[in-house]
Structure 1
Amino acid sequence: MPFVRIDALGTDPARLDALGQAVQDALVETLGVPPEDRFQVLTGHDGVTGTLRAGDYLGIRRDDSVVFVAITLRAGRDAARKRAVYRRIAELVHERTGTEPRNVFVTLTENGDADWSFGYGLAQYAPAGGGPAGALSG
């Protein structure tokens, strides 16, 4: 059950939707996330009331089509699977939106079972007095 935030500059609803679907498809393909586990915040910035900044860190020259993808998910994936998801996100974003892979910035933040509440003020993966409820999917 990853929680995904995507930020892009000067984008329209169709591009935001394509970005969200590309990330979701990459998570399903590379990490085995169930397709219905889709929790995303998609934000387009207008450059005036909200904007994005990206330097040329590590020699990667980014421009105004930069896309920031922040994914929070439960811990447990090895480095190879993480590299696979980064690669697939960049491929699908390029394929579906034309955004150059150099402009796709992805970060993963891992946490534990007790760090999630899906509603009702409950920790569904770490119920009181018991083990985790639900399969590892996020």
Structure 2
Amino acid sequence: MPLVRIDVAAETSTETVAAIGDVIYDAMVSIASVPEHDKFQIVHRHAADELVYPAEGYLGITYSKNIVFIQITWNEGRTVDVKKAFYKAVAEGIHERTGLRQEDIWISLLDTKRENWSFGNGDMQYAPKD
């Protein structure tokens, strides 16, 4: 049920993008109780002027041209502790697998209701039970 959008610099290698996607998926399954095989990801590569961030930093964090924007839409209901553990696992995992700085891993989570998904066939697979 998650939809992951990954935005990276145009020169980011295919291997790095694959590792980023794998780390996110692994953390979703192991920490956030996402079902196995529920891996829907959209990758966008951008020219340098299309990834905008504060050059002076924000909240004590400075960014580089290698910033990775990750936006995940998933079902509501996860605790703050689960989300904190998820953020940490993704930032550390991406750093370990790719060498990208943890400071450059920017994550936004969007919680939505279960009935806001259709996985095909025009059906509401998670329809409320009457």
Same fold (TM over 0.5): yes
Deviates more, 1:77-86 or 1:6-15: 6-15
Residues 94-136 of structure 1: per-residue CA shift (max 9 Å, x gap):
011111111100010001022101011111111xxx518xxxx
What's the TM-score once normalised by structure 1's chain length?
0.86
Instruction: Show structure 1 runs of 4+ deviating over 3 A.
Output: none
Percent identical among aligned pairs is: 38
SS at match of 2:88: helix
Unpaired segments of 5 or more residues in structure 1?
Answer: 133-138
SS at match of 1:5: strand
RMSD of aligned residue pairs (Cα, Å): 1.4
CA distance in structure 2 between the partners assigned to 1:35 and 1:6 by the alignment:
20
Give 2:17's aligned residue: 16
**Would the aligned equivalents of 1:11 and 1:45 in 2 still touch at CA under 8 Å?**
no
CA distance in structure 1 between the partners assigned to 2:74 and 2:119 by the alignment:
13
SS at match of 1:57: coil
Give 1:3's aligned residue: 3
- The 5-angstrom pairing of residues 21-60 of structure 1 reads 21-47=22-48, 51-55=50-54, 56-60=57-61
Give 1:123's aligned residue: 124
Give 2:113's aligned residue: 112
CA distance in structure 2 between the partners assigned to 1:42 and 1:71 by the alignment:
12
**Would the aligned equivalents of 2:64 and 2:104 in 1 still touch at CA under 8 Å?**
yes
Unpaired segments of 5 or more residues in structure 2?
Answer: none
Residues 42-100 of structure 1: per-residue CA shift (max 9 Å, x gap):
1222336xx21111111210001110110000000010000000000001100111111
Give 1:91's aligned residue: 92
SS at match of 1:15: helix
**Would the aligned equivalents of 2:6 and 2:70 in 1 still touch at CA under 8 Å?**
yes
Deviates more, 1:97-106 or 1:25-34: 25-34
Equivalent AA in structure 2 for residue 88 of structure 1: A
Q: How many residues align?
A: 127
